[in-house]
A and B are shown apart, each in its own frame.
Chain A
Amino acid sequence: MRTTSKPLLWTGLLAAPALALALGAGVPALADDDDDEGGRGSRVAAPLDPRYAEECGACHVPYPAWALPARSWDRIMTGLSDHFGDNAELAPDTAAAIGRYLKANAADTARSGEARELGAARGDAPLRITELPGFKKEHREAAARAMKSKPDLKLSQCDACHTQAAQGSYRESQINVPGVGRWED
């Protein structure tokens, strides 16, 4: 004999998405003057494109698209067979998709402060984020102190201090500098 449980079923079905929304909706980041915690318009914690993260995170931290201008990403994506001395070739459709993602989110398309701060100069197409004037200025002190306890550290290893870099997040509160701990400007 079938007992009807339809009212319960429907309540469950309707409640589930509402519950999912409530749980999934991020708590807005606390307002922060220097936008290092991901306030409105900030890219500081923008999630990475999953294909980019997988392919370009295979050998190094997947660098944020907003760190370089579109013309730089172009240079990189057309030179994958000699990618800083390594071979990083991709299937053409994968390379095309990743290139589109990078250029759409590049420093010159981003509205956020981080991109401007890193200082990718107009005109040229720099390849190394770690050599951008803004980057060097931002990291001078922290890098010096980190390398005291870990001399082999490279500035290109963002995740050495930016604990969520692999997820694309550079929130200030997530920084943990070796030998120092939390870092606040």
Chain B
Amino acid sequence: MRLDPFRFHVAAALTAALALAAPAPALAGAYEDLLGQLKAQGAGPFDAARGQALWIQDHPDPGGGPARSCATCHTDNLKASGKHVKTGKVIDPLAPSANPDRLTDAAKMEKWLKRNCSWTLGRECTPQEKGDVLTYIHGQ
């Protein structure tokens, strides 16, 4: 159907208005920010499957005790509660689907990655490893 000039211009104006009013992309949250920082350090692209493999990988205990992995305390089911291997304290699920507070606080994410990589791997995780693990957790 051909529009007369008036209607055409009205339609064009409306279309333009709609395009301009279209919502901006969602503001990045703490998780996206942190991944962005890791990319800025040269890491990426990130892969959940690699993160999962890292999660269950065993590492020796320098004190000679049983080997440990992330799953030692958190289990390999991130929707379930975990348990601190020494104190028995219950650890709330890591999966955002089970625990919406997860991956929303940058300071918390950095703190726990620093501590727990240090204890589990015997060193800090590389930016690539952090990104892969965070991507794995995010998808659960």
Contacts and interface: CB of A to CB of B under 8 A. Distances in A.
The reply to whether chain A is a binding partner of chain B is: yes
Given A85-B63, A86-B86, A89-B114, 10 more contacts: A58-B89, A59-B84, A59-B86, A59-B89, A60-B87, A88-B115, A89-B115, A91-B107, A154-B87, A154-B88
At the interface, is chain A mostly helix, strand, loop or mixed?
A: loop
B119 A87 contact: yes
Top 9 nearest A-B pairs (CB, nearest first) are A87-B119, A60-B87, A87-B115, A87-B118, A59-B84, A59-B89, A89-B115, A59-B87, A60-B89
Interface of B: 63, 84, 86-89, 107, 111, 114-116, 118-119
A47 to B, nearest CB: 20
A59 B115 CA distance: 12
Given A59-B84, A60-B84, A90-B111, A81 B89 contact: no
A156 interface: yes
Nearest to B65: A85
A60 B73 CA distance: 13
B86 A84 contact: yes
A49 B116 CA distance: 24
Interface in A66-107: 81, 84-91
A88 B119 CA distance: 9
Contacts of B111: 89-91
A86 B88 contact: no
A60 B83 CA distance: 11
B69 to A, nearest CB: 15
A173 interface: no
B87 to A, nearest CB: 4
A109 interface: no
Contacts of A61: 89
A154 B85 CA distance: 13
Given A85-B63, A90-B111, A91-B107, A157 B87 contact: yes
B81 to A, nearest CB: 14
Interface in A122-151: none
Contacts of B116: 87
A90 B112 CA distance: 9
